[in-house]
Amino acid sequence: MERITPNVFTETKIRGCNPGIVFTSEGAVFIDSAQILTYLLDTIEFARSRGDIKYLINTEPHIDHIFGNHWFAGVCPVIAHEKINKDFFLVPGTMDGYDYSVDVLTRQDPKGLEHMPSREKYIVNRPQITFSENMTLKVGEHTFMLYHTPGHSDSQIAVYVPEERVVFVGDTVFSDCQLWLHSANIEELLKSLEFIHTLDVDYVIPGHGPVVTKSYLEEQIAFIQEWIKAVDQGIKKGWSKEECIKEISFADRFPVDIGQDEMMDYIQRTNVVKCFDYLEAQRIHP
């Protein structure tokens, strides 16, 4: 894993979310769990070689952040925002969460597939501890401040660890890769980015892409505004939603995060739809 501070590790070069570990004097706290099973099992072993695993915190319900929860069942409690249950283990498209995960492993981690339990044995390990606004967790000498930062998803949280000057933001930030707005509330997303900017941190650990500093939050806000502006200009030209989808794309700006190139068209289309609906709603309720 990449060492970010003396006690904070993450991995940004694998398919799926960037999983994080914070080592405290009482044991490890995981932030999300890797989707590539071979890698997940390695990270669990890495943590165990240093002591107990105390908690797993999920920053959002999307499958690439919670698929690995099975391997924490009976190991430690899972913590997340209370709204996470609504979308937990759901995936876009026709597959369910289990088949989707098997498909990913078959294509991208055949060695990991050998460790995938049967459907009957796989535990959809929902959080045992939830909160509605914010929550503070003390583990050893470390403080974990969990903030509800809705936008990318409505149960999105940020995990701020002041002793390490680090915040884990999940998919509120996509650094140097395509931004997914498919499940976003744009107004809330922008507010949450502004809020995260107020935290006193050296590192922002995004859901996807390399670890960044706070200045990237401004770039992320600017990119979202660029998306909105492009769609707004389309609307002003009289384009319908379908025409906006056809004409507007930021595909040349960034690659899709590792191992998901086939999602480029889906991202462009759903981002246009989200921006279009956001602008329409503003016209009705400015």
Q: Under the rule (CB under 5 A), what is the footprint of Zn ion?
A: 62, 171
Query: Which whole-number Å values give the CA distances from 222 to 157, 179, 216, 225, in the listed order?
Result: 21, 12, 10, 5
What is the residue whose two structure tokens read 């929902």? 126
Q: What is the largest CA-CA distance in the chain?
A: 61
Query: Which distant-in-sequence residues (6+ apart) come within 8 Å of 220 by Cβ?
Result: 173, 174, 175, 179, 193
Shortest separation between residue 242's beta carbon and Zn ion, angstroms: 26
Which C-beta is closer to Zn ion: that of 125 or that of 178? 178
Shortest separation between residue 101's beta carbon and Zn ion, angstroms: 15
Shortest separation between residue 207's beta carbon and Zn ion, angstroms: 6
Structure tokens at 60: 């959002």
Residue of 96, 97, 51 lying closest to 76 (CA atoms): 51
Residue pair 172/185 in contact by the 8 Å Cβ criterion: no
Structure tokens at 71: 């391997």
Which C-beta is closer to Zn ion: that of 154 or that of 171? 171
Which C-beta is closer to Zn ion: that of 28 or that of 211? 211
Residue pair 94/103 in contact by the 8 Å Cβ criterion: no
Structure tokens at 117: 């339990």
Which C-beta is closer to Zn ion: that of 53 or that of 91? 91
Distance CA(60)–CA(155), nearest Å, equals 6
Shortest separation between residue 208's beta carbon and Zn ion, angstroms: 8
Shortest separation between residue 6's beta carbon and Zn ion, angstroms: 29
Which C-beta is closer to Zn ion: that of 108 or that of 155? 155
Which C-beta is closer to Zn ion: that of 112 or that of 207? 207
Shortest separation between residue 170's beta carbon and Zn ion, angstroms: 7
